[in-house]
Structure 1
Amino acid sequence: MMEVVLSGLVGTIIGAAISAIGGEDFRRYRDRQSVAGALAGELDSILKSIPELHIGLKGMLSIVREGGQLPFPEFPQSSNPIFDANTAKIGLLKPDLARDVAYVYGQITAFQTSFHSLSKHHQDMPPEWVSAMIERCIGMIDDNLAMAKLLVANLTGEAAAENLTMFKAWGLGAITFAGLGCLFAAIYCAWSVSCFSH
């Protein structure tokens, strides 16, 4: 009789442990999807502004090369709020995707710093420096645009991907439910044997 109760208890503990592990796996899967979707949205928003910015930088370069002054106010240092808020969660992404996110956002930050520096110092610095900074900004766009677009597509795919984690979570829930059923059945058997033996 005690063997029945003990086996039910062990089954329940094992089922609960497996379910807890599966629940954590499912939570990480959902977090990975959320981070991927949020980063894809922020990057896509940045990319939407690139064509106009690229044209503007080329126009500014022409003005400087012709000896003109840039009618260019100082811009504040830009930030990437979604990336900044989720930096600690980048590790949830697949390794290649995490590497690409770090690289592309590193390039975006470098561009933002250069553009801010250009807007702040273009009136105080010689035309050669101004031209070099504009060329640097144009070069960063040209060198990284294709990779950034591909990253948006890959992040969007990751955000929409369904994998076996959902099925694992349901399966582990079923194991836990079965374990609890075994425990209750064992307790009922032990109780009925003790009740009817008197």
Structure 2
Amino acid sequence: MAETRAFWLDENVDRERGTGGRGRYEAEVLRRTDEFADTWGDIAPVAFAATAWRVATELSPGYVRRHRRIVAATCAPSPWDGSLICAVTVISRWPAELTWSRQWQRDRGWRDWPQLFGQYTTPTDQDLTRSPHLRATLQVEAPVPLGDLPPAPDGPGDAVAATARRAVVVLTRELNDLLHPLIGQLEAGVPADS
């Protein structure tokens, strides 16, 4: 069965590429501590956790790794009530309405997501000059439970890196719980039982 975890932490690369006894993510958090400045002492852990997630996913390769179907994943405070909202873009198959009949294609050679060694890729400029592409995605937007998130530190000296790591661990777990069934169903490629 194909791997269906939506997200996981790449602890091996983090340790291997770390310096001075610190993991790569910890070093990056300490280097970018100013990006957390607006979150110090916040009563809600949301803004701190969202910043920790952003830093973890901006590393290349990311400290948080993602399933090949996931194009993007962000976490941000809700402008409505300040809760934590994730937005995840997932590669999907064409909808059933387009696969039921091929008449809409009119022999134009429509292409789906290109794949290279099992990884979804963006069509090259050359690909786009040869045939039309229809790349289906699903946009998942959902609240993320806050119960296990660590409180925001009071300042830059209060174990910022360790708290950021804990926040990312919790977010990875929560997003994996949310998206694992969806990814599994897409990978299975068959309709779910009713």
* TM-score bracket for the superposition, by shorter chain length: under 0.3
TM superposition score normalised by structure 2: 0.26
**TM (normalized to structure 1)?**
0.25
Larger Rg: 1
Tell me which protein shows more helix as a share of its residues: 1
Question: Which structure is richer in relative contact order (CA contacts within 8 A, separation 6 or more)?
Answer: 1
